[in-house]
Copies of this chain bind each other. A is one copy, B any other.
Amino acid sequence: MTTHASHLRTDISGNTEDVVNRRSHEPAYEQICNLLREKISKGIYLPGSRLPSESELRRIHKVSPMTVRRAIQLLLDQGIVTTVQGSGTFVKAPDLGGATFSLNEFYDIFKDQDRAKVKLLEARTLKADADTAARLQLSEGQRVLLLRRLLLKDGDPVIFHKEYLIYDPFRPVIETELEVTTLYGLFERNGQTCLKRGNLTLEAMVLNPEEAGLLNTMPLQPAFRIEHLFYDFDETPISWGQFICRGDKLRFKTMVGFDLSR
């Protein structure tokens, strides 16, 4: 029972007090969270072991229950601990499954509008084939709008985008649609957000000669394929397509385990 308290007292880092610093602009719950995370990262609280109970933490740091709970909520959000009602709060072991790759790395490529330019290769209507019709919930043969774009970064082609859009002759989005030269506003057609959600899948692929030609590289080079299917607020499919991104231009990075810097 006094184990935790002695841990706290024998903490080497004399610079961090256990009683929260009220003068600091850092909120109390954040201070407590960081203190606990530091101890976990140092191995003072090992994976699988129990953290001091909320009432103990309350006494140690001289704060109210809600403040302690917020600190622990933060640790929960960060995937560092798990709580078991009636039992305690336990340090999680890091696991590979918890890692996530953010599309930010991909998105960043065409986010800065100075260096990235979009070239429209093709824009025409055609009759939907079986695949496209199924994806967009149309009947085969209905007309869809095909867009093919190339995204250039510093003049080099990096991403090839092919997209089939619902074609509604009564809603002439087409003209403004073609003006999309940044891909930045993919969710902001006609000036306002009309897309509600989308499904994305990420695959590894090998470039065929046509794709390689477009992307100014050699065939048989590796690439990422990101397929998308966007829906509007009526749950109607609006757009189906894919981004093909040169493998040598994109790399997803992430961390697993305890990250002190966060």
Contact = CB atoms under 8 A, between A and B. Distances in A.
Interface majority SS on A: helix, strand, loop or mixed?
A: mixed
B96 A107 contact: yes
B48 A193 contact: yes
Contact of A107 (B97, B198, B258): B97
A111 interface: yes
Contacts of A107: 95-97
Interface string A44-57: 00111000000000
A196 interface: yes
Contact of A187 (B94, B187, B223, B254): B94
Nearest to A188: B93
Contacts of A247: 203-205
A47 B194 CA distance: 9
B193 A221 contact: no
Contacts of A60: none
A67 to B, nearest CB: 12
Interface in A177-230: 186-188, 192-193, 195-206, 220-224
Contact of A201 (B200, B204, B223, B252): B252
Contacts of A34: none
Interface residues of A, number: 59
Contacts of A204: 204-205, 222-224, 247, 250
Contacts of A95: 107, 187
A93 B108 CA distance: 17
Given A187-B94, A193-B47, A103 B101 contact: yes
A101 B204 CA distance: 14
Contact of A220 (B108, B197, B206, B233): B206
A156 interface: no
Contacts of A220: 206, 220
A253 B201 contact: yes
5 contacts: A95-B107, A101-B103, A198-B257, A199-B255, A200-B253
Given A95-B187, A195-B257, A202-B253, 4 more contacts: A97-B107, A101-B101, A197-B256, A198-B257
